[in-house]
Amino acid sequence: MGALRWHFLLQCLEDLQKNLCQLGSCLLVIQGEYESVLRDHVQKWNITQVTLDAEVEPFYKEMEANIRHLGEELGFEVLSVVSHSLYDTKRILDLNGGTPPLTYKRFLHILSLLGDPEVPVRTLTAEDFRSCRPPDPGLAERCRVPLAADLKILPESTSPWRGGETEGLQRLEQHLTDQGWVASFTKPRTIPNSLLPSTTGLSPYFSLGCLSVRTFFYRLSNIYAQAKHHSLPPVSLQGQLLWREFFYTVASATPNFTKMAGNPICLQIGWYEDAERLHKWKTAQTGFPWIDAIMTQLRLEGWIHHLARHAVACFLTRGDLWISWEEGMKVFEELLLDADYSINAGNWMWLSASAFFHQYTRIFCPVRFGKRTDPEGQYIRKYLPVLKNFPSKYIYEPWTASDEEQAQAGCIIGRDYPFPMVNHKEASDRNLQLMKQVREE
């Protein structure tokens, strides 16, 4: 987990602490390994119930099992609640004969048998916290939300994202006031290189539990009910939430979901191992401005648009570099604010045509893709200021400018900004053949 996400998480906890305070309660943050923390506190604080989010990730499944054992030993009750996802994935698996549905269409069919998800938990009030008296001020001070410096996290960067339920709710309300936008939302038509997010930008808030997906789902249902027409899954906003559920469901029942080896749904591919090329991709030195601008936004801000994720994921894997999706997933895991075990791995498998998606002949061009929605290259100028003085006709391929034009733009390719690391046409043709071969085998 990178520094940006740490800062975001600490902001979330501070916001939670503030909101609980307003309700007459407070948040105690205890640092340490969960088992010893529980052992130390159960008797001391007379803990009778431990409540946790039911999760699909193996680490948390194991944690829940361990906590249950501990509960039997130490005498506390464990309440595990499905709240990070809309549905209990076990119910979906049961209806599909115990296996995960591997297409979105099949998944929607199963959901139609289940009906709407549970309604969201109501908003808590001070009344709910009547019996949760704030502990003595000394304890509250000892168990305060840690500062980034306490955890030796690098100082705050300039990310425009701020963590917390308050911010998440504000963002939600902002989007929902434009009901026409909500009703007509069509994901492929949103713009990957707009200077402000063209989608909701709610993923970091869902990811860290600041915002309830059910609240979002039902607010959308209310807007759809009032609209004459509205878009539908897979492209609608509710459809996006269902993609999330889809990946949670498949991940919950697939061993080694974040790996190629031992993963029964993943195509086994002999990807190249090339640390130098991987490093260039990760550090925005591919020489393709569209790719490098996206990787810069990811590093500086921790969020990039879905189609921008498509562009860089395809480039790293089946498009240009033929490097394993696992490597890309790890970089995203470190840098994304919304990094998520199931969604990240699922989408990387998708983009690399290792699972779910099989139209592998469709390879994104690192020059033409971004041009369609931002012909002037404003996005590139923002994130790669070294290129900002190039005329628009060169901004996506500055190496084609003459020496004089480069000098005029104040940026010599090969000195101030790299030449493209591959010839896209040759690399993508070769990779296409490789992919055909793998599939035939």
Phi (first) and psi of residue 50, to 5 degrees: -115, 125
Measured from the CB of residue 54, what is the shortest distance to ligand FAD in angstroms?
18
In total, the chain counts a number of residues equal to 441
Burial class of 292 by CB neighbour count within 10 A (0 to 12, 13 to 18, 19+): buried
Q: Of 111 and 395, which CB lies nearer to ligand FAD in the complex structure? A: 111
- Please report, in range form, the residues annotated as the binding site: 199-203, 240-247, 338-340
Q: Of 155 and 188, which CB lies nearer to ligand FAD in the complex structure? A: 188
Residue 212: strand, helix, or coil: coil
Q: Of 202 and 427, which CB lies nearer to ligand FAD in the complex structure? A: 202
Burial class of 210 by CB neighbour count within 10 A (0 to 12, 13 to 18, 19+): buried
Q: Of 217 and 394, which CB lies nearer to ligand FAD in the complex structure? A: 217
Q: Of 7 and 175, which CB lies nearer to ligand FAD in the complex structure? A: 175
Measured from the CB of residue 197, what is the shortest distance to ligand FAD in angstroms?
5
Give the Å distances, CA to CA, from 88 to 70, 118, 134, 175, 204: 24, 10, 34, 27, 21
Strand partners, 49: 77
Q: Is the peptide bond before 234 cis (omega within 30 degrees of 0)?
A: yes
Residues in contact with ligand FAD by CB under 6 A are 187, 197, 199-203, 206-207, 240-241, 243-244, 247, 305-306, 309-310, 313, 332, 336, 338-340, 343-344, 347-348, 351
CB 417 within 8 A of CB 291: no
Measured from the CB of residue 135, what is the shortest distance to ligand FAD in angstroms?
35
Measured from the CB of residue 237, what is the shortest distance to ligand FAD in angstroms?
6
- Please report, in range form, the residues annotated as the binding site for FAD: 199-203, 240-247, 338-340
Measured from the CB of residue 393, what is the shortest distance to ligand FAD in angstroms?
29
Measured from the CB of residue 241, what is the shortest distance to ligand FAD in angstroms?
5
Q: Of 280 and 310, which CB lies nearer to ligand FAD in the complex structure? A: 310
Residue with tokens 């963590």: 163
Helix (H) or strand (E) holding 333: helix 325-335
Q: 10 Å Cβ neighbour count for 329?
A: 23
